[in-house]
Structure 1
Amino acid sequence: MNSGSDSDSFDEGDLTARGRKAKGKSGSRANEKGKQKAKDQGYAWEATYTRSWDTVQEDEAGSLTGAVAELLARGRRRRLLAPAAAIRRTIIRHLVLLLDLSAAMSDRDMRPTRFDLSLEYAREFITEWFDQNPLGQIGIVGMRGGIGERVCEMSGNPQDVLKAISERHKLEPIGEPSLQNAIEMARSSMSHLPTHSSREMLVIFGSLTTVDPGNIYETLSSCVKDRIRISLVALAAETKICRELCDKTGGTFGVAMNEGHFKDLLFELIPPPAQQHTGAGAGGKMSADLMMMGFPQRLPDTAPAALCVCHAQMRAAGFLCPRCGARLCDAPTDCDVCGLMIVSSPHLARSYHHLFPVKPYSVVTTLDGVTSTTCHACARPLEDTPSANVSEGVSPFDRYRCQDCKSDFCTECDVFVHDVLHCCPGCET
Structure 2
Amino acid sequence: MDSDDEYVPNTRARGLTNAEGAYRWEDEYHRSWDVVQEDSGGSLAPAVNGIIDTAKRRKIKPMAPVHRGIIRNLVLVLDASLAMSDTDMRPTRFYSMISSASVFVTDFFSQNPISQLAIVVLRDGLAVLTSKLDGNPQTHLDNLAQLRKSQVSGQASLQNGLELANVLLSQTPQYNTREVLLVFGALMSNDPKPISQTIHKLVENKVRVKIIGLAAEVAICRQICTQTNMGESNSYFIALNEQHFQTLLSDSLTPIPVLKERESAAKSTDSAEPATAVRMGFPKRQLHSMSASLCACHQTLTKQGFFCPQCKAKVCTLPMTCPVCALTLIMSTHLARGYHHLFPLQPFNQTQGYKNPCFGCSVSLANRSQFECPKCHNIFCVDCDVFFHENLHNCAGCEVQNTDVQV
- TM-score w.r.t. the length of structure 2 is 0.81
1:60-111: CA deviations, max 9, x gaps?
Answer: 56664343133245445xx24x33xx21111111111101000000001111
SS in structure 1 at match of 2:76: strand
Structure 2 CA distance, aligned partners of 1:366 and 1:300?
Answer: 52
Please say if residues 95 and 148 of structure 2, whose CA atoms lie closer than 8 Å, have aligned partners that are also in contact.
no
Residue among 373, 396, 406 paired with 1:402 = 373
1:218-252: CA deviations, max 9, x gaps?
Answer: 11110111111111100011111111111111271
- Ranges in structure 1 where 5+ consecutive residues have no aligned partner: 1-55, 388-396
Structure 2 CA distance, aligned partners of 1:317 and 1:297?
Answer: 11
In structure 2, the partner of 1:7 is none
Please say if residues 53 and 369 of structure 2, whose CA atoms lie closer than 8 Å, have aligned partners that are also in contact.
no
Please say if residues 59 and 66 of structure 1, whose CA atoms lie closer than 8 Å, have aligned partners that are also in contact.
no
Comparing both chains, which one has the higher relative contact order based on Cα–Cα distances under 8 Å and sequence gaps of 6 or more?
Answer: 2
What is the identity, as a one-letter code, of the residue corresponding to 1:360? P
Q: What is the 5 A alignment of 1:28-427?
A: 59-60=36-37, 64-72=48-56, 74-76=58-60, 79-80=61-62, 82-83=63-64, 86-168=65-147, 170-250=149-229, 252-277=235-260, 278=262, 279-280=265-266, 288-302=275-289, 304-365=291-352, 373-383=356-366, 398-427=369-398
In structure 2, the partner of 1:22 is none
Structure 1 CA distance, aligned partners of 2:125 and 2:317?
Answer: 35
Structure 2 CA distance, aligned partners of 1:291 and 1:355?
Answer: 18
Structure 2 CA distance, aligned partners of 1:288 and 1:323?
Answer: 23
What is the identity, as a one-letter code, of the residue corresponding to 1:253? Y
1:373-401: CA deviations, max 9, x gaps?
Answer: 12111112333xxx6xxxxxxxxx73221
Please say if residues 98 and 144 of structure 2, whose CA atoms lie closer than 8 Å, have aligned partners that are also in contact.
yes
Bigger Cα Rg: 1
1:300-354: CA deviations, max 9, x gaps?
Answer: 1435322222232323222111011111222111112222111111111111111
SS in structure 2 at match of 1:419: helix
- Ranges in structure 2 where 5+ consecutive residues have no aligned partner: 1-31, 39-43, 401-407
What is the identity, as a one-letter code, of the residue corresponding to 1:338? C
1:134-183: CA deviations, max 9, x gaps?
Answer: 11111111000011111111111111100001024653100001111111
In structure 2, the partner of 1:19 is none
Please say if residues 364 and 401 of structure 1, whose CA atoms lie closer than 8 Å, have aligned partners that are also in contact.
yes
Structure 2 CA distance, aligned partners of 1:317 and 1:243?
Answer: 49
Structure 1 CA distance, aligned partners of 2:200 and 2:254?
Answer: 26
Please say if residues 125 and 156 of structure 2, whose CA atoms lie closer than 8 Å, have aligned partners that are also in contact.
yes
Structure 2 CA distance, aligned partners of 1:285 and 1:380?
Answer: 51
SS in structure 1 at match of 2:398: helix
Moved more, 182-191 or 115-124: 182-191
Structure 2 CA distance, aligned partners of 1:286 and 1:409?
Answer: 43
Please say if residues 91 and 272 of structure 1, whose CA atoms lie closer than 8 Å, have aligned partners that are also in contact.
yes
1:252-298: CA deviations, max 9, x gaps?
Answer: 11001111111111111111111113131556866531211110111
- TM-score w.r.t. the length of structure 1 is 0.77
SS in structure 2 at match of 1:324: coil
Q: What is the CA-CA distance between 1:414 and the residue it aligns to?
A: 1.0
Structure 2 CA distance, aligned partners of 1:365 and 1:69?
Answer: 14
SS in structure 1 at match of 2:365: coil
What is the identity, as a one-letter code, of the residue corresponding to 1:244? Q
In structure 2, the partner of 1:428 is 399
Q: 1:108 to 1:326 in 2, by over 3 A?
A: same
SS in structure 1 at match of 2:312: coil
Moved more, 271-280 or 261-270: 271-280
What is the identity, as a one-letter code, of the residue corresponding to 1:248? Q
Alpha-carbon RMSD: 2.2
Q: What is the CA-CA distance between 1:416 and the residue it aligns to?
A: 1.1
What is the identity, as a one-letter code, of the residue corresponding to 2:192? P
Please say if residues 93 and 136 of structure 1, whose CA atoms lie closer than 8 Å, have aligned partners that are also in contact.
yes
What is the identity, as a one-letter code, of the residue corresponding to 1:426? G
What is the identity, as a one-letter code, of the residue corresponding to 1:59? V
Structure 1 CA distance, aligned partners of 2:242 and 2:149?
Answer: 24
What is the identity, as a one-letter code, of the residue corresponding to 1:69? D
Structure 2 CA distance, aligned partners of 1:285 and 1:405?
Answer: 36
In structure 2, the partner of 1:392 is none
Structure 1 CA distance, aligned partners of 2:111 and 2:272?
Answer: 28
In structure 2, the partner of 1:53 is none
- Alignment length (residue pairs): 353
